[in-house]
Amino acid sequence: MEPGDAARLGRGRAARALPPRLLLLPLLLPLLLGRGLRAAASASSSGAAAEDSSAMEELATEKEAEESHRQDSVSLLTFILLLTLTILTIWLFKHRRVRFLHETGLAMIYGLIVGVILRYGTPATGGHDKSVSCTQEDRAFSTLLVNVSGKFFEYTLKGEIGPGKINSVEQNDILRKVTFDPEVFFNILLPPIIFHAGYSLKKRHFFRNLGSILAYAFLGTAVSCFIIGNLMYGVVKLMKVVGQLSDKFYYTDCLFFGAIISATDPVTVLAIFNELHADVDLYALLFGESVLNDAVAIVLSSSIVAYQPAGLNTHAFDAAAFFKSVGIFLGIFSGSFTMGAVTGVVTALVTKFTKLHCFPLLETALFFLMSWSTFLLAEACGFTGVVAVLFCGITQAHYTYNNLSVESRSRTKQLFEVLHFLAENFIFSYMGLALFTFQKHVFSPVFIIGAFVAIFLGRAAHIYPLSFFLNLGRRHKIGWNFQHMMMFSGLRGAMAFALAIRDTASYARQMMFTTTLLIVFFTVWIIGGGTTPMLSWLNIRVGVDPDQDPPPNNDSFQVLQGDGPDTARGNRTKQESAWLFRLWYSFDHNYLKPILTHTGPPLTTTLPAWCGLLARCLTSPQVYDNQEPLREEDSDFILTEGDLTLTYGDSTVTANGSSGSHTASTSLEGSRRTKSSSEEVLDRALGMGDQPVSSRGTRLVFPLEDNA
C-alpha cells in the first residue's frame, strides 16, 4: 500500500467516527443564524418603540407645561384687567362725585362678574384618572413620590376632600389657577397694606386719642371676640338640635371665629371721611382702632389655636391652658412689637451713618427691602408679621424718614401708597371671585344669620360701655353721635378674609370662611354705601381743617368748664400730663432723635461727660454745624400743644391749661437757638404762664401777643 492510500484511509475512518450532531451542524447553522438575526431585529425594534414612547411622553410633558404657563398668564391677566377696570370706574365715580359705592365695593362686584363667567362660561379642561388608596398609612404626607412603570413622579398635598365631594373635585384648570395659595395673601399682599397704615399715620391726632384707641383696640377686640364666640357657640348648639350640623364644631372654633371676625377694616368709611374732611378726632379713633385691632385679632387667633388642654378632651376648659394662651398672646405681641421697632431702628442707623442719601434709588430700595423683610423675619421667628411690620412702619416714619433724601421721602410714600392701593383692591377683587371659584364653601343659613346678630351685639358691647368708661377720664367727651358712627363703621375686610382663608381644611373652618365672605360683602356694600347719609343724620362735622382743634362745645365734644372740682381736676390733669409727656419727650428728644437722626441736640450736651467719645461718634456733624434743616416739615410729625396730654385720659390741655385755639402765630425762623438741653426748653415751655407754646420737633413756635 502506498503512503497516499494510507492517508486517505485514515481520513475516511476519522470522518466516519464523528458524532451525528456535528454532521448536522452545516445544516443547522443557517437556521440558528436566522433566528439570531430575527431576535436581534426584534430587540432593535423594541428599543426603538421604547425610545419613541419616551419621546412622546416628553413631548406631552412639555405641552402640559406650556399649557400650565398659558393658564397662569390668563389668571394673572384676569386680575390685572379687573384692577384696570376698577381704576377707570373709580375715576368716573370721582369725576361724577359718586359716593354710594367705594372702590373696594367696585372691585368685589367686578370679581363676582368674572367669577360667574369662569364658573359657568368655561368648559372643564382637566380631569382625574382615578384615586389611589393608601390604606396602610395613618397620616397624609405633604409630598408623595409615586412609582409609575419605573418612573417616579412627585405630588404635593392640596388638602383634604370630604367623602361626599370626591366626584365634585374641580376639573377646570382655569378655576384652579385663579385660586391662590393663602400664603400669597400673608407674605405678599398684606405687608404693604399694614406697613402703609403705620407709615402714613397721622401722629398728632393719633397720640391725642391714644388712650381711647388702645382701649378700643385691645379691650374692645377681646370683648368682641368672647361675646361673638359664645353667641356662635349657642348657634352651633341650635344647629345640632335642628340637624343642620353635619360635622364637628367645637367651642374653640367659635372663639377662633370671634377673633378673626373682630378685625375691623373700615377702609370705605375712612376713604369717605378723608374725602369729605370729616372730624379729625373721629377719623383718628376709627383709623387707630382698625390699625391696632388687626394686629390684636391675628395674635388672639394664634393664641386660641395654641390652646391645648391636658387630658383626653382637648376642647374642654383648662385654667392652665387658658393662662398659657394668655402668655402666648403677650409673648407674641411683645416680641413682634420689639422686632418691628428694632428693624426700624437699624434702618435709621444705616441711613444716618452711610451716604446713601447721595444715591436716592439705592436708598429707596434699601428702605423697601428692610421694611418688607420685617414681616418675613417675624413670621420665620414664630412671631406675627402683621404686628412687626405695623410698628416698623411707625418707627420708620418717626426716625428713618428724617434721614432720607428729599427724593427718597417722596418715593417711599408714593411707592407704599401705590402698593397699598393695588394690594387692597386685588384682595377685594379676589373676594368676589372666590364666591364662585372656591370649592370648599359650606353655606349654613342659621350660622350666617346668627353671625350677623352676634357681630352687631359684639360691636355694641365693644363701643358703648368702653366709651362710657373712657368719658369718665376724658376732658373732651366722645359724644353719642361719634359712638353711633363708630358702631356703624365696624366693617370687615381684608384681614378677616385673609385669616379665614388661611386654613379651610376642616368643616368648621370652611363654614367660617363662607360666612366671613358674606359678612364682608354686606358691610362693604351696605354700610360703606350708607356712610355719607349717616354723617349727615348724626350731624358730624365735615370740611374740617386737619390741623384745627375741635370746638369747645358741640355734639361731638363737651368740654368740662367752670370752677370747683372740675377746675381742680383740670389743673391736676395738666400737671400729670406734663410729667408723662416730659417722660417720653425728654428721652426721645435728648437721646433717640440725636442717635437715630440728624436732628436734636448734640449728645455731648445730654450724655454724661464720661460718654464724650461715644457722644461725638453718634452725633451727626450737621447738628454741630447747624447746617441741616429740621427734617420734620411733614404735618404728620408736628406736635402741638394738644399733644402735651397724649397719655392721660386723652385730654387736650395746652401748656397753660387752656383748650382754646390760637391762630396768630409766627415762627422764629431767623433765630434758631442752640439749646444746651431740651429739658430746659421744656421747662420754659411749660412755665410760660399765659403764653401758650407749641413744639415742632426741636424748634419752638411762639404765638405773637395780641395787643388789641
What pTM does this model have?
0.74
Phi-psi region of 438 (alpha: psi -120 to 50; beta: other; left: phi over 0): beta
SS (HEC) of 128-190: CCCCCCCCCCCCCCCEEEEEECCEEEEEECCCCCCHHHCCCCCCCHHHHHCCCCHHHHHHHHH
CA 411 vs. chain centroid, Å, equals: 22
- Candidates 286, 269, 273, 275; CA nearest to 529 is 269
Q: 351: pLDDT confidence band, cut at 50, 70 and 90?
A: very high
CA 564 vs. chain centroid, Å, equals: 49
DSSP secondary structure of 553-589: BSSS-BB--SSTHHHHHHHHHHHHHHHHHHHHHHHII
**Type of residue found at 12:** G
Report the C-alpha gap between 290 and 183 in whole angstroms: 22
Q: State the pLDDT at residue 554.
A: 41
Q: State the pLDDT at residue 636.
A: 39
Taking residue 122's Cβ as centre, other Cβ atoms within 10 Å add up to 12
Q: Is the pLDDT of residue 677 over 70?
A: no
Beta bridge partners of 696: 699
Phi-psi region of 562 (alpha: psi -120 to 50; beta: other; left: phi over 0): left
| Range scoring the smallest mean pLDDT among 74-78, 205-209, 655-659, 684-688 | 655-659
Q: State the pLDDT at residue 672.
A: 38
Query: What's the chain's Rg over C-alpha atoms?
Result: 36
Beta bridge partners of 695: 700
Contacts of 232 (CB under 8 A, 6+ apart): 254, 257, 258, 447, 450, 451, 454
Cell of 391: 410698628
Percent of residues in the chain assigned helix, strand, coil, to nearest 5: 65, 5, 30
Q: Is the pLDDT of residue 413 over 70?
A: yes
Q: Phi, psi at residue 701, to the nearest 5°?
A: -110, 115
- Candidates 150, 257, 265; CA nearest to 197 is 265
| More confident: 376 or 707 | 376
- Candidates 471, 511, 651, 519; CA nearest to 572 is 651
Q: Is the pLDDT of residue 687 over 50?
A: no
Contacts of 373 (CB under 8 A, 6+ apart): 343
| More confident: 156 or 362 | 362
Report the C-alpha gap between 132 and 144 in whole angstroms: 12
User: pLDDT by residue (tens digit) across 106-122?
Assistant: 889 999 999 898 888 87
Mean pLDDT within 162-168: 57
Report the C-alpha gap between 223 and 239 in whole angstroms: 24
Q: Mean pLDDT over all residues of the chain?
A: 75
User: pLDDT by residue (tens digit) across 213-245?
Assistant: 999 999 999 999 999 999 999 999 999 999 889
Beta bridge partners of 143: 156
DSSP secondary structure of 489-512: T--B-HHHHHHHHT---SHHHHHH
CA 227 vs. chain centroid, Å, equals: 25
User: pLDDT by residue (tens digit) across 511-556?
Assistant: 999 999 999 999 888 888 888 889 889 988 887 766 555 554 444 3
- Candidates 402, 455, 521, 528; CA nearest to 229 is 455
- Considering 62-66, 408-412, 637-641, the range whose residues carry the highest mean pLDDT is 408-412
Q: Phi, psi at residue 694, to the nearest 5°?
A: -125, 145
Phi-psi region of 689 (alpha: psi -120 to 50; beta: other; left: phi over 0): left
Q: Is the pLDDT of residue 332 over 50?
A: yes
DSSP 220: I
| Range scoring the smallest mean pLDDT among 87-101, 396-410, 571-585 | 571-585
Cell of 564: 370747683
Q: State the pLDDT at residue 684.
A: 46
Q: Phi, psi at residue 167, to the nearest 5°?
A: -80, -10
Taking residue 391's Cβ as centre, other Cβ atoms within 10 Å add up to 23
Residue written as cell 413622579? 153
Q: State the pLDDT at residue 660.
A: 40
Question: Which helix (H) or strand (E) element contains residue 700?
Answer: strand 699-701
| More confident: 644 or 249 | 249
Report the C-alpha gap between 684 and 676 in whole angstroms: 13
Cell of 562: 367752670
- Considering 42-51, 170-179, 392-401, 688-697, the range whose residues carry the highest mean pLDDT is 392-401
- Candidates 533, 636, 633; CA nearest to 280 is 636
